[in-house]
Amino acid sequence: MDILWAPWRMKYIEYAKIEQDSECFICKATNSNEDEKNLVVYKGESVIVLMNRYPYNTGHLLVAPTRHIPELKALTDKELCILLKTVKNSVEVIREALKPDGFNIGVNLGRVAGAGLESHVHIHVVPRWNGDTNFMPVIADAKVIPEALQDTYRRLVAHKDLYRNSENCELA
């Protein structure tokens, strides 16, 4: 039997056990001034963008309202506009910083749908590259992330000026 050594995964396993009883990590990042520690790429009045600490791919971002709500239906029209505009801007930040070939963008509502955090709605923005799905996930049931989170963080934050108009949403 081959053994895949991934000691950093223990933090995810331990976090998943206590997440139910602790403060929401998105709210914690929203209320903190430690953006780099919390991997916050952008923080506005109504929306926050942070890196997924346990990413599907390099540069995997979470875009969420700063208000703690579990469902899309609880968003105001203005919050929804700001949220989607920020997703659009996140795609541009990732394009500039990481040069991906495409994206997966989605929302997981409910544990059965894959939501690791059910209590705070958020949108996943996952960059994809030709060839990023290789034999590792298929044969070894493992995903390789080729860059340290802090290195990716610095590359993304260098383009955060692309968020400058995220919160400008005029509704009729």
Pick the catalytic residue: 60, 68, 120, 122? 122
- The 3-state DSSP class for residue 167 equals coil
Cα-flanking dihedrals φ and ψ of residue 57, to 5°? -155, 160
The answer to whether residue 122 is catalytic is: yes
Strand order in the sheet with 61-65: 40-43, 47-51, 61-65, 123-128, 102-106
**What whole-number distance in Å separates Cα of residue 65 and Cα of residue 47?**
4
> Quick check: 162 and 89 in contact, CB under 8 A?
yes
Q: Which run of H or of E encompasses 82?
A: helix 77-98
Burial 127-147 (b: 16+ CB within 10 A, else e): beeeebeeeeeeeeeeeeeee
Q: So which residues are the catalytic ones?
A: 122
